């Protein structure tokens, strides 16, 4: 596979504003962030309906719907990490905590994702917890077969099919391995997560009567596959931090799924901005934002698929690590 690297102009970024940039809204509806509460009801309502009425839903409809709802919930957890400041942290955590996707404890996601938001370290191996890059020393030490897998993971097809397995491998070899080594600092996190996952599977299989394998296939694996789409080319190496952050100008359905974090440069500039204010802010400030990120912009996920479905975006070796 030959790597394809997209080059963009990199003008000097404009200074980031000191405020969120969104137009202040008056009234309890906006001060209490009722759109986010409505989002919570909608996501959990959709999940319940899909599970409860699973027998009446054909597989070809269940598969994309279940994947969408699970990935949607994961992005809702992301919103609770950064935004939704009208609710106290304990309440935000309680609302988004249920592990519908089963595989990742929310507290670990919050901890690692917070580290990722140190913008000066974005993409740097060993410092950015969400980077897909590797240091040259690590890369040269890998077996050729593993280097092939990691390169294939830089194609869209590879990211969707291999990405979940690579992420699960990391969870087992890095996070869960601490328990095996006798490090129980995350023990209570894992105990709560296992208990929550067991409760969800109990409801799904014993109350709703859905076969366990269908839930794992449609909700867990499907949701994780779809969730791999947003981080695909969301970050790349650049000389300046914000030139490492993309903007993918997609449609309403995909924007709602990601809670408009596909316009990712806005999120890294203003991480606490409510999800429903991001599209308007991006539209009003598009020229300045694209100057800030070196015009690192894509016209939707179909464009990315046409370019990179089977072609790697880059070889994931960090140029400075």
Mean pLDDT of 177-194: 88
Q: How far apart are the first and last CA of the chain?
A: 23
Counting Cβ atoms within 10 Å, is residue 27 exposed (0-12), middle (13-18) or buried (19+)?
Answer: exposed
Residue-wise pLDDT tens digits, 72-93: 999 999 999 998 989 999 999 9
CA dist., res. 275 & res. 321, Å (int): 34
- Per-residue model confidence as pLDDT tens digits over 40-59: 999 999 999 999 999 999 99
pTM (2 d.p.): 0.89
CB 240 within 8 A of CB 295: no
Residue 166 has pLDDT above 50, yes or no: yes
Q: Among 14-28, 104-118, 135-149, which range has the highest average pLDDT?
A: 135-149
Higher pLDDT, 264 or 183: 264
Q: How many CB atoms lie within 10 A of CB 76?
A: 21
Lowest mean pLDDT among 46-55, 85-94, 179-188, 299-308: 179-188
**Based on the number of CB atoms within 10 Å of its own CB, is 259 exposed (0-12), middle (13-18) or buried (19 or more)?**
buried
- Per-residue model confidence as pLDDT tens digits over 112-158: 999 999 988 999 999 999 999 999 999 999 999 999 999 999 999 99
d(CA 201, CA 217): 13
How far CA 75 is from CA of 132, 164, 173, 265, 289, in Å, comes to 19, 16, 25, 16, 22
Contact between residue 115 and residue 200 where contact means Cβ atoms under 8 Å apart: no
Cβ atoms < 10 Å from Cβ of 244: 26
54: DSSP letter: G
């Amino acid at each position: 596979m030959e790597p394809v690297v997209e080059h963009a102009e990199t003008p000097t970024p404009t200074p980031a504003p000191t405020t969120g940039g969104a137009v202040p809204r008056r009234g309890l509806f906006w001060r209490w962030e009722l759109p986010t509460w409505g989002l919570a009801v909608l996501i959990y309502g959709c999940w319940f309906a899909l599970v409860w009425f699973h027998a009446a839903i054909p597989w070809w409809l269940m598969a994309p719907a279940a994947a969408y709802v699970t990935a949607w919930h994961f992005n809702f957890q992301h919103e609770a990490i950064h935004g939704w400041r009208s609710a106290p942290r304990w309440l935000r955590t309680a609302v988004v905590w249920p592990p519908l996707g089963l595989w990742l404890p929310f507290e670990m996601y919050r901890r690692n994702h917070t580290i990722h938001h140190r913008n000066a370290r974005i993409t740097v191996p060993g410092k950015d917890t969400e980077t897909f890059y590797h240091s040259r020393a690590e890369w040269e030490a890998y077996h050729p077969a593993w280097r092939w897998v990691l390169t294939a993971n830089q194609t869209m097809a590879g990211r969707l099919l291999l990405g979940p397995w690579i992420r699960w491998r990391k969870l087992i070899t890095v996070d869960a391995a601490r328990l095996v080594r006798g490090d129980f600092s995350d023990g209570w996190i894992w105990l709560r997560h296992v208990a929550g996952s067991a409760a969800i599977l109990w409801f799904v299989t014993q109350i709703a009567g859905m076969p366990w394998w269908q839930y794992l296939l449609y909700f867990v694996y499907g949701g994780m596959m779809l969730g791999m789409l947003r981080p695909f080319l969301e970050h790349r190496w650049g000389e300046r931090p914000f030139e490492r952050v993309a903007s993918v100008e997609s449609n309403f359905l995909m924007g709602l799924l990601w809670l408009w974090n596909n316009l990712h440069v806005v999120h890294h500039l203003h991480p606490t901005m409510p999800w429903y204010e991001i599209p308007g802010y991006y539209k009003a400030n598009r020229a300045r934002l694209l100057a800030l990120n070196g015009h690192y912009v894509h016209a939707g996920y179909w464009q990315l698929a046409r370019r990179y479905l089977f072609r790697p975006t880059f070889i994931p070796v960090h140029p400075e690590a």
